[in-house]
C-alpha cells in the first residue's frame, strides 16, 4: 500500500478506463420483446361498447328518479358530471363532487372505459353538493 504525505500530488485516475455509456449512446431496441408486444397489442381495447353507471347520492344530496343508465366506454367522466348537473339543476357557481366507488374522484377527461376496467364491471358514482 502506498503512503501519501501532504506534499505528494494527488494520483491521477486511470486514463485507460472507459467512461460509462449514456442512455442515448446505449443499444437501441429495434423491436420490442414478444411479451411487451403482446401486452401493448391489446392495451386500451375493451370487449364492451357500453357500461352500466349507477348513481348514488351522498348525505343530503338530492336523489334522481333514474339512478342506473348505460354509457359508451369512449365517453369522458365529464359526461357523467354534466348529466348530474343538468338533472339536479345545479347552477354554475355551485359544486358537485363525484367519486367512483366512494374511493377516488377522477379527472373530468378520464375515459369511462378506463374507470370501468378498474371498478369491477360497474361504475358506482356517488355525489354530494351544497345544493338542497
pLDDT in tens, 15-42: 555 656 565 655 665 665 566 666 666 6
CA 39 – CA 44 distance, rounded (Å): 10
Write out residues in the chain with pLDDT < 50, as ranges.
131-132
CATH match of 50-129 with 3.10.20.90: yes
CA 99 – CA 81 distance, rounded (Å): 10
Determine contact, residues 69/42, Cβ cutoff 8 Å. Answer: no
For the entire predicted model, the pTM comes to 0.61
CA 70 – CA 88 distance, rounded (Å): 19
According to the model, what pLDDT value does residue 79 have?
Answer: 93
The b-or-e profile of 78-106 (16+ CB within 10 A means b, else e) is: eebbebbbeebebeeeeebebbbeeeeeb
Determine contact, residues 95/129, Cβ cutoff 8 Å. Answer: yes
According to the model, what pLDDT value does residue 40 have?
Answer: 60
CA 56 – CA 91 distance, rounded (Å): 20
According to the model, what pLDDT value does residue 75 have?
Answer: 92
Amino acid at each position: 500500500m502506498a503512503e501519501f504525505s501532504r506534499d505528494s500530488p494527488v494520483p491521477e485516475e486511470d486514463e485507460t478506463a472507459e467512461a460509462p455509456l449514456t442512455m442515448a449512446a446505449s443499444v437501441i431496441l429495434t423491436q420490442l420483446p414478444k411479451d411487451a408486444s403482446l401486452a401493448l397489442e391489446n392495451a386500451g381495447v375493451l370487449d364492451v361498447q357500453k357500461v352500466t353507471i349507477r348513481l348514488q347520492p351522498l348525505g343530503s344530496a338530492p336523489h334522481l328518479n333514474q339512478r342506473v343508465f348505460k354509457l359508451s366506454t369512449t365517453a369522458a367522466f365529464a359526461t357523467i358530471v354534466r348529466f348530474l348537473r343538468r338533472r339536479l339543476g345545479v347552477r354554475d357557481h355551485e359544486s358537485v363532487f363525484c367519486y367512483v366507488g366512494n374511493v377516488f374522484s377522477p379527472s373530468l377527461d378520464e375515459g369511462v372505459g378506463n374507470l370501468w376496467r378498474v371498478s369491477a364491471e360497474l361504475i358506482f358514482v356517488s355525489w354530494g353538493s351544497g345544493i338542497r
